[in-house]
Structure 1
Amino acid sequence: MIYIYVTGPAGSGKSTFTYALQEWMRNNQYEAITVNLDPGVENIPYRPDVDVRDWYQLQDIMEEYSLGPNGAQILASDLIASEIDEIREEIVSMDADYAIIDTPGQLELFAFRTSSDLIIRGLSERESYMAFIMDPMLAISPSGYVSLLTLSASVFFRFYLPYVNIINKIDLLDDSEIFKIRSWSEDVDTLYMDLRQERQSMIKEYALEMFKAMESLGVNFKPLFVSSRDLRGMEDVYSNIQLTYSGGEDLEKR
């Protein structure tokens, strides 16, 4: 089983991506389950096959420990890590090809907590894959795009797992905007030029220097483009995962 951790900033569409990827896989006869890791989420567009709310709910933690929402979320991540063996048993019992893991809405609650290392190791570190979801409306400006790459790179350096950047909600972009982002990912000079043409400010210079630093470190720039609404691009995500773990070979359909 391959564990796909869906991460990214709040509002980028992690939960809708989780739902859409599972739908695409099932439509193509691959067995995929969903796992919700957010004890505080109230509404999600899918029914989780494994749900941490069956172990801990944010409101209960707030009441029991007299904590606010943020403190309760932090404690919840530690409590979830303490139950990871039991959670893993439930996941494994479903005998799926993929476990699509929807991480908490606030990126820092997963990406920058030591409990997340315990969760990943407790599930299956060797078969883990990180999908970083990007907000398309921020990605259409050069400095916004570099900011997202910087955030993505920080998550990559935290976990050192196979990962891919994914721009979700491309149905909100027109063809020219998609072309522009593709050109930045494929031609470094184009991104350099567009960064320099943005308003003259220290912010622009910071973005340019951050981009240069990531380039020198070999950070993967090229995102995949998907729509959770109409499932466009989901085949590319599947192919990228298979390339990582099976040399590009297709799974046997069920």
Structure 2
Amino acid sequence: MRFVYFVGTAGSGKSTLVKSYRDWLGNNGIDCMTINLDPGVDMLPYDADIDIREWVALDEVMGEYNLGPNGAQIVAADLMAVNIKKITDLLDGVRTEYVLVDTPGQLELFAFRESSNVIVEAFGKEKSMVVYLSDPMLCKTSNGFVSNMVLSSLVEFRLQLPVINILTKADLMKDEDRDRMISWFENSDSLYDDLLDNDANPQTVVGMELFKAVESVGIFGQIRAVSAVENTGLEEIYSATQLEFFGGEDIDPEDND
């Protein structure tokens, strides 16, 4: 049993991708299950096998603690850790190859709170990794792209888990935009050159410094363009997770607990 956390900014398409990737795995004979860790989501595009809302519901947290939506989201994120044993108990005895973990819509509620580390440790850090979703709408400019890569680096730093980076919503991107973003990630020199081409202003200076910081931690390398709508790029996610967990070999049926 291996855990794959889908993490990204609000609106990056986490739940939609979880649904599409679950279906793709099933269609290819790979057993998996899904866990929803977003207590504030109204509707999911899939039926979660385990749903945190069974124990932590946002509207109930708002009423019990007399909080608005934002404050309740923070409390609910911490309450997930309090209830994590109920989830691990449900996982006891389950045999599956992959567990797809759908994280809260607001990235900071999962990546930047200590409760997330409690959850990762409970599931097993040594058998976990992150799929970080980059929304192309936030990455069109060189400064926006660097900002997004900073977030990806912070997720890796906070969770201390391997991260694979993907560009979501590939079906909505123009070919030239997609190719440019992939080039920025796979050839950091091209990103550096485009940052230099920006008008000299404080934002550009900050962008250059952030670029240097991100480059120094080695985040650049390969990024995959994925469409959960057209089901493209899903095999690349599978190949990347297989490479991370098993060195690229197919899953051993005896090694799925």
Task: Look up the SS of the partner of 2:126 in the other structure.
Answer: helix
Distance 1:217 1:125, change over 3 A: same
Structure 2 residue 13 is matched with structure 1 residue 26: no
In the alignment, is residue 186 of structure 1 matched against residue 186 of structure 2? yes
Partner residue, 2:130: 130
* Cα distance, 1:224 vs structure 2: 1.4
User: Structure 2 CA distance, aligned partners of 1:168 and 1:217?
Assistant: 23
4+ residue segments displaced more than 2 Å: 91-94, 219-222, 251-254
Q: Within 2, Cα distance between the matches of 1:62 and 1:24? A: 37
Aligned partner of 2:148 in structure 1 is: 148
Alignment size in residue pairs? 254
The equivalent of 2:245 in structure 1 is: 245
Q: Counterparts in 2 of 1:95-134, with a 5 A limit?
A: 95-134=95-134
Q: What per-residue deviation string (whole Å, max 9, x for no partner) do you get for residues 199-251 of structure 1?
A: 33211121111111221222244321100001100111111111011010022
Q: Quick one: distance in 1 between partners of 2:87 and 2:203?
A: 44
- What is the alpha-carbon distance in structure 2 between the residues aligned to residue 179 and residue 163 of structure 1? 21
The DSSP-based 3-state class of the residue aligned with 2:133 is strand
Task: Report if aligned partners of 1:36, 1:102 keep a CA contact under 8 Å in 2.
Answer: yes
Distance 1:183 1:79 in 2: 41
Partners of 1:56 and 1:213 in 2: CA distance: 38
Query: 2:21, 2:91 → 1: CA distance?
Result: 17
1:1-254 alignment, distance < 5 Å: 1-251=1-251
Equivalent residues of 2:5, 2:129 under 8 A apart: yes
Distance in 2 separating the partners of 1:220 and 1:95: 35
CA RMSD of aligned residues (A): 1.5
- Residues 168-177 or 187-196, more deviating: 187-196
Q: Determine the C-alpha separation between the residues in 2 that align with 1:67 and 1:143.
A: 35
TM-score w.r.t. structure 2 length?
0.94
Contact 1:149–1:221 (Cα < 8 Å) also in 2: no
SS in 2 for 1:195: helix
Contact 1:50 1:91 in 2 (8 A): no
CA distance in 1, matches of 2:4, 2:220: 18
Separation in 2, partners of 1:157, 1:221: 17
TM-superposed CA distance for 1:172, in Å, is 0.5
Deviation at 1:82, TM superposition (A): 1.4
> Following the alignment from structure 2 to structure 1, what is the Cα–Cα distance between the partners of residues 87 and 243?
28
Q: For residues 30-78 of structure 1, what are the alpha-carbon distances to aligned partners after superposition, in whole Å with 9 as ceiling and x for unaligned? A: 0111110011110121111100111121111111121211222222222
In 1, distance between residues paired with 2:20 and 2:204? 35
Residues 188 and 80 (structure 1 numbering): CA distance in 2 closer, same or farther, change over 3 Å?
closer
Q: Distance in 1 between matches of 2:34 and 2:246?
A: 21
Percent of pairs with identical residues: 43
